[in-house]
Amino acid sequence: MAKFKVIVSDPATGTSKVVELEEARAVPFIGRKIGEILDGAVVDLPAQKIQIMGGSDKDGVPMRPNVHGGVRRNIVLSGGVGFNPTKPGQRKRKTVRGNVITDEIVQINVKIVGQPKKPKSENKGQEPKAEAPAPNSA
The rounded distance, in Å, linking the Cα atoms of 2 and 70 is 14
Extents of the domains making up the chain? 3-116
Contacts of 35 (CB under 8 A, 6+ apart): 51, 52, 65, 99
- What SS3 class is residue 111? strand
Residue 66's closest CA among 56, 58, 54, 57? 54
Tens digit of pLDDT for each residue in 39-80?
999 999 888 999 999 999 999 999 999 999 999 999 999 999
Predicted pLDDT of residue 102: 93
